[in-house]
């Protein structure tokens, strides 16, 4: 099995903590089981690229999840900042102009387009005025994002199989909203187990609170790796 397809490399742990010190301590406690970590908005506002650099110097891969969404010029300039850092994956919102701007400036980083946030439910979708279903919107944004130059997409596990069928095997699919059977759903409305997400076609599963809030985070991570193995 190629290294990137091994279960431990398909788990991305979301370091959704307020400080770099907490994030790095958590990453150290999860190594060597976990080698891929997500830096989101909360952590980035505390530590900026310094925490990304510290993770990469430890030999970890980094997903920078800032979900860029602005005018194309601003998105291109922001994405260009990634070139000075070892960022494996970065997220933008799945609108064609945003994706195209990021794709042109991405360098070595792979750009993932966020289709529909996993906290969005059918009631909120109806309020937005979109006439189709959540799945329709996810597939539409996935297809238009790939056409605009994205390397892959972020979608909930409930739409992963549809997106994989629509996009084929080359597109990267990263799936948040992962909840082991014994975990609370928290503020996620579209969730699935780790095994179900991988079976549906996800390349990566993104897991935060079921690991980071566990009494034994390393044990929780190992259990998820075993489940997807």
CATH number (domain holding residue 166) = 3.20.20.70
190: pLDDT confidence band, cut at 50, 70 and 90?
low
- The number of beta carbons lying within 10 Å of the beta carbon of residue 109 is 21
- Determine the structural domain holding residue 86 and report its residue range: 3-228
Residue 152 has pLDDT above 50, yes or no: yes
The pLDDT value recorded for residue 221 is 95
| Nearby residues of 148 by Cβ (< 8 Å), 6 or more positions away | 96, 97, 99, 100, 103, 113
φ, ψ of residue 169 in degrees (nearest 5): -85, -20
| H/E stretch holding 181 | none
Catalytic residue of the set 38, 67, 110, 165: 67
Residue 212 has pLDDT above 90, yes or no: yes
Q: pLDDT tens for residues 16-68?
A: 999 999 999 999 999 989 999 999 999 999 999 999 999 999 999 999 999 99
**pTM, rounded to two decimals:** 0.90
Domain count, the chain: 1
CA 70 to chain centre: 19
Q: pLDDT tens for residues 90-147?
A: 999 999 999 999 999 999 999 999 988 766 666 656 566 666 788 888 999 999 999 9
- Nearest Cα neighbor of 209 from 166, 178, 181 is 178
Tell me whether residue 67 is one of the annotated catalytic residues: yes
């Amino acid at each position: 099995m190629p290294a990137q397809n091994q279960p431990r490399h398909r788990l991305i742990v979301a370091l959704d903590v307020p400080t770099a010190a907490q994030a790095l301590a958590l990453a150290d406690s999860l190594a060597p089981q976990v080698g891929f970590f997500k830096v989101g908005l909360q952590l980035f506002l505390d530590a900026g690229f310094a925490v990304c650099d510290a993770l990469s110097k430890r030999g970890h891969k980094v997903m920078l999840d800032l979900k860029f969404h602005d005018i194309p010029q601003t998105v291109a300039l922001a994405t260009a900042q990634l070139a000075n850092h070892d960022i494996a994956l970065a997220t933008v919102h799945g609108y064609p102009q945003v994706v195209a701007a990021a794709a042109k400036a991405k360098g070595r980083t792979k750009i993932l387009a966020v289709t529909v946030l996993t906290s969005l439910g059918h009631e909120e979708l109806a309020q937005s005025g979109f006439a189709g279903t959540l799945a329709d919107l996810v597939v539409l944004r996935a297809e238009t994002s790939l056409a605009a130059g994205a390397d892959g997409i972020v979608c909930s596990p409930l739409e992963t199989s549809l997106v994989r069928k629509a996009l084929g095997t080359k597109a990267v699919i990263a799936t948040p909203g992962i909840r082991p059977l014994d975990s609370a759903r928290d503020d996620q409305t579209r969730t699935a187990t780790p095994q179900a997400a991988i079976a549906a076609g996800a390349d990566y599963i993104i897991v935060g609170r079921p690991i980071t809030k566990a009494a034994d985070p390393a044990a929780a991570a190992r259990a998820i790796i075993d489940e997807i193995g």
